[in-house]
Chain A
Amino acid sequence: MRNPAGERTSKAWLIGGFAFLYLPIVTLIILSFNASPLVTTWAGFSFKWYGELMRDTVIIEGFLLSLKIALLTATASVLLGTFAAVALTKFPRFTGRTVFSGMVNSPLVMPEVIIGLSLLLTLVSLQRLTEDLFGTGWPDRGTLTIWIGHTLLGMAYATVVITSRLREMNPQLEEAALDLGAKPWQVFFLVTLPLISQALASAWLLSFTLSLDDVVLSAFLSGPGSTTLPIAIFSRARLGLNPTVNAVATLTVLVVSIGVVAASLWMARLERKRAREMAAAMKT
């Protein structure tokens, strides 16, 4: 049935596709060990750019700020995303449902310059309003405003991930709990939440990495003194090639790859464990 020519094409296409996806990443990593300050001219192996990085306060402070915002963003996104996903899957009818789902989904594709600009202009208007009313403008551009912007984006992704998990969940499990006398909130905390915990973890990780990576929203919403890591990297990358950027990139790729692979292995193990327990419970 299978023809060898087709199989060769299939393999070649997949290998070609993956080569395309990974070529830039591999290049980044190799060149981060280049001793030459001319990024693309190889002059021997060296760790010197990693050493530079340790002394680079802009990068280090940017990283710490980004980390803080990413932690806040991921947590808020999962909370709001869970609410939105439950609303969309469990309540087929409510006032404003279409508008609601439109507002949840649009940030997934909406160009970031539009979201960034509109949020910023709103914040500035609010600032002026509070200044007129109370004498001091609120909020200042900084961690809080970046957090709000990132959460809008992260929430959209979190909702998609959690909704698709809620969709494929067996509704009989919740119905059974209701029949046995559990209250809706008990069903949610004791049955639904444990069943979707993996989706919550993926949504958290996804919004975390989105926030850690975002340039455009941060650029609009940051104030003086709140330079996140991507803003610092972006301003260097704009000027040209920069060896410290390669070192940052390599560390990022390393940490993210280890994190994502470890998280998926862990989730796969949990999944198997749960399947075993379910099977055991069905038997008795």
Chain B
Amino acid sequence: MSAHSNVQWLDAFVARLGRKFVIGVPMLFLLAVFALPFLVVFKISVSESDGVRFVDLLTWSEGVLQLKVRFSNYLYILFEDSLYIEAYLSSIKYAALTTAICLLIGYPFAYFLARSPAEVRPGLLMLVMLPFWTSFLLRVYAWKMLLADNGVFNNIALALGLIDAPIKMMHTPFSLTLGMVYTYLPFMVLPLYANLVKMDLRLLEAARDLGATPWQAFWRITVPLSKGGIVAGALLVFIPCVGEFVIPELLGGPQTLMIGRVLWDEFFANNDWPMAASVAVVMVLLIIVPLALFNKYQAEQSAGGRA
């Protein structure tokens, strides 16, 4: 009897230990490489940079603990150089535009995909996923070839006599938006598809029986029911687009100011680490609301409550 209860006690102990381990390992990893770095960035953004080293925020001087915090970077971003504010606003503008276009193209796409015959659906879904798996960098580069002044589109149009001189498409707001829509379209389509394919089609039949036209049924039933997919897709496109770097660097131009590029230049070209850190902190503040929404949505998904 006592041997038996010993075994039970041991099992319970192992189970509790296992639980701690399963939660603890990823938790520690995330705290170390995700949470802590944000604190470090904030600290460095308010640090004095003396040459290559940052002066510690807390220093002992003559037996007194001193806290030195410097907000000059933030003041500079907000009031002195309009470049930063313009870059933030323009990033939000392009991110919003990209999200809207992705939704306009992606919603019908996901809808028709979800309503296509069941036997072709896995194949079509695979076709959506496949570009997603192949290198994103190379696909963005490919647009350069298509849109350049001596690129494929211009060459074809010239050869056909449609235009007399090449049209400038590269390094314009057009090429940037096109590249972002192209890259992020699958991120819009996949959550929408997952949502639309689960929809109970009997609801639409019921609506029709009650006299609704297909158009009315679509707007009053399908769209409201797919709200979760719309929100998820929009956030998956909007948030990363705000800080996008590679696409503006390869396809954007002097007219298309993006904050991701500003941060990159502060860091790699100007070597001003505290400034780069301040730009990053303000960027986090800009996306914190959509990010919180996204986290809420993901938590609901993983809790499996609402579908």
For A100, what are the chain B residues with a Cβ–Cβ distance below 8 Å? Answer: 23, 26-27, 30
The segment out of B38-46, B68-76, B80-88, B220-228 that lies at the interface is B38-46
Q: Contact partner of B33 among A92, A121, A152, A185, CB < 8 A? A: A152
For A112, what are the chain B residues with a Cβ–Cβ distance below 8 Å? Answer: 240, 243, 245
A13 lies within 8 A of B109 (CB)? yes
Q: How many residues of A contact B (CB 8 A)?
A: 97
B283 lies within 8 A of A111 (CB)? yes
Q: How many residues of B contact A (CB 8 A)?
A: 92
A233 lies within 8 A of B137 (CB)? yes
> Which residues of chain B have a CB within 8 Å of any CB of chain A?
11, 14-15, 18-19, 22-23, 25-27, 29-31, 33-38, 40-41, 44, 53, 105, 108-109, 112-113, 115-116, 122, 124, 126-131, 133-139, 141-146, 148, 150-152, 155, 182, 185-186, 214, 235-236, 239-240, 242-246, 249-250, 260, 263-264, 267-268, 273, 276-277, 280, 283-284, 287, 291, 294-295, 298-299, 301-304
Q: Contact partner of A237 among B144, B150, B263, CB < 8 A? A: B144
CA A206 to CA B130, docked complex, whole Å: 11
For B277, what are the chain A residues with a Cβ–Cβ distance below 8 Å? Answer: 117, 121
Interface SS, B side: helix
Query: Please, which residue of chain A has its CB at the minimum distance from the CB of B261?
Result: A113
Q: Contact partner of A213 among B19, B137, B263, CB < 8 A? A: B137
Q: Contact partner of B145 among A28, A87, A209, CB < 8 A? A: A28
Which of B126, B136, B298: most chain A Cβ within 10 A? B298
User: Counting CB contacts under 8 A, is A89 at the interface?
Assistant: yes
CA A25 to CA B303, docked complex, whole Å: 38
User: Counting CB contacts under 8 A, is A114 at the interface?
Assistant: yes
B155 lies within 8 A of A121 (CB)? no
Q: Contact partner of B38 among A101, A118, A152, A219, CB < 8 A? A: A118
> What are the 7 A-B residue pairs with the smallest beta carbon separation, nearest first?
A111-B243, A24-B142, A118-B37, A109-B239, A10-B112, A103-B30, A249-B138
A28-B142, A117-B276, A152-B34 are contacts. A215–B137 as well, Cβ < 8 Å?
yes
